[in-house]
Amino acid sequence: MKPAQFEYHAPANVVEACSLLASLEDAKVLAGGQSLVPLLNFRLARPAHLVDINRISGLDRIYERDGGVAVQALARQAAVEDSELVARACPLLRDAVRLVAHRVIRNRGTLCGSIAHADPASELPAVLLALGGHVVARSARGRRTIGADELFSGVFETSLAPDELVEETWFPAVSGEHAILEESRRHGDFALAGVVRAGDRLALFGVAGTPVMAERGDPTRGLQPSGDLEATAEFRLHLVRVLTEQAFAA
Ligand SMILES: Cc1cc2nc3c(=O)[nH]c(=O)nc-3n(C[C@H](O)[C@H](O)[C@H](O)COP(=O)(O)OP(=O)(O)OC[C@H]3O[C@@H](n4cnc5c(N)ncnc54)[C@H](O)[C@@H]3O)c2cc1C
């Protein structure tokens, strides 16, 4: 299928992008397009306006900030995967990015896009939650910081306002033991269930409407995952128990 009609905008800088998002009714940011374009093609999303941020220069940095790593809106997942800074300061993030789809998708897909998209089976939101990171949201009204524990509000839903752009995502440096483990049907597929360990902290993905924090001793407490053609709810709970054990075994 082809997308429903929309008006296309290509701002040259962040200020212009924010003023478009503030003034247009029913606008969506287009970053790597790896999630949004399929949604448009299937007409599962029908925004009236697309604000393509790809022509904004100087928005693709990965840099050290406040003892952690900041990843700007146009930094591709492949660049995060290849970053020496990420490998040194936050190897958990590099390990997580390697589990996202395939390299060809990571060449276009952005880390911030994955966070804003908030797919419950996605690895990167769970890493942000496990590490206690945040996003910097920018709009015509200014900037605000949103912690991961306040960001993910539902299936594909965040607390970002429609006129806010994720300008960058910040991950604290990882010191100590860490792991990200998941089970999927094929390499590169979305996870049936996954766990992220950062020291004593544990976050789960693929088993609730958002990534969730859990306790090592009883990781499935309170969870009611849905079952589908890929996996039953019971199998997902089983995976959480096994993967948690493995994550702490090392
Ligand atoms: C075959 C396939 C397999 C995949 N497998 C996985 C997987 O295993 N794990 C996984 O996590 N992902 C997977 N993905 C998704 C992929 O990682 C996407 O790149 C990512 O989810 C979205 O990033 P993007 O830059 O492409 O965003 P886009 O597709 O451009 O946008 C996605 C959404 O986020 C919004 N958005 C994007 N950037 C911003 C911003 N800076 N500020 C505010 N809103 C923004 C858009 O408006 C849109 O609603 C897969 C995709 C494909 C096609």
Q: Which residues contact 64 (CB under 8 A, 6 or more apart)?
A: 70, 85, 89
* pLDDT above 70: percentage of residues in the chain: 100
Q: What is the pLDDT of residue 49?
A: 98
Of 211, 222, 115, 130, which is closest to residue 178 (Cα–Cα)?
130
Q: What is the pLDDT of residue 73?
A: 98
Ligand 1 contacts CB of residue 50 (under 6 A): no
Give residue for tokens 């990882």: 174
In a domain, 69, yes or no: yes
> Does residue 159 sit in the same domain as residue 184?
no
Cα(32) to ligand 1 centroid in Å equals: 7
Tell me if residue 168 falls in helix, strand or coil.
strand
| Ligand 1 centroid, distance to 218 Cα (angstroms) | 31
Name the domain boundary from 142, 172, 202.
172
CATH number at residue 97: 3.30.465.10
Residues 75, 30 within the same domain: no
Q: Is residue 2 part of a domain?
A: no
Q: Stretch 143-147: mean pLDDT, rounded?
A: 98
Q: Are residues 124 and 82 in the same domain?
A: yes
Contact 244, 207 (CB under 8 A): no
Q: Closest ligand 1 atom, CA of 165? A: 42
CATH number for the domain spanning 184: value is: 3.30.390.50
Beta-bridge mates of residue 136 = 145, 168
For the beta carbon of residue 169, count every other beta carbon within 10 angstroms. Answer: 29
Q: Ligand 1 atom closest to Cα of 122?
A: 11
Q: Residue 57: inside a domain, yes or no?
A: no
Residue/partner pairs of 56-59 with CB below 8 Å, 24 or more apart: 56/11, 56/12, 56/13, 56/14, 56/17, 59/14, 59/167
31 and 71 share a domain?
Answer: no
> Which structural domain range is residue 136 located in?
62-172
Q: 122 and 154: one domain?
A: yes
Q: Could you please report the per-residue DSSP string of 104-139?
A: HHHTT-BHHHHHHHT-TT-HHHHHHHHHT-EEEEEE
Asked if residue 140 and residue 86 are part of one domain, the reply reads yes
Lowest mean pLDDT among 124-128, 205-209, 227-231: 227-231
Q: Which of 33, 52, 71 is the last residue in one of the domains?
A: 52
Mean local confidence (pLDDT), 16-32: 98
Query: Do both 202 and 118 map to the same domain?
Result: no
Q: Greater confidence, 204 or 228?
A: 204
pLDDT bracket for residue 250 (50, 70, 90): low
Tell whether 165 and 70 lie within a shared domain: yes
Q: Is 34 in the pocket of ligand 1 (CB under 6 A)?
A: yes
Question: pLDDT tier at 163 (50, 70, 90 boundaries)?
Answer: very high
151 and 105, same domain (yes or no): yes
At 188, is the pLDDT very low, low, confident or very high (cuts 50, 70, 90)? confident
The predicted structure's pLDDT at residue 175: 83
Bridge partners of 142, per DSSP, are 139
On whether residue 142 sits in a domain, the answer given is yes
Q: What is the mean pLDDT of the chain?
A: 97
Are 164 and 70 contained in the same domain? yes
**Using CA atoms, how far apart are residues 233 and 230, in angstroms rounded to an integer?**
10
Condensed to tens digits (0 to 9), the pLDDT of residues 62-83 reads 999 999 999 999 999 999 999 9
Q: Identify any residues that bridge with 87 across adjacent strands, giving them in sequence order.
A: none
The size of the chain, in residues, is 250
Residues 113, 13, single domain; the answer is no
pLDDT tens column, 212-238: 999 999 999 999 999 999 999 999 999
| Residue 29 CB–ligand 1 contact under 6 Å | yes
CATH code for the domain in which residue 33 is found: 3.30.43.10
Neighbours of 117 (CB within 10 A): 20
Residues 150 and 87 in one domain: yes
In a domain, 113, yes or no: yes
Domain total in the chain: 3
Closest C-alpha to 9, from 27, 35, 33, 25: 27
pLDDT of 139: 98
**1 has a pLDDT exceeding 90:** no
Of the pLDDT bands very low, low, confident and very high (cuts 50, 70, 90), residue 187 is: confident
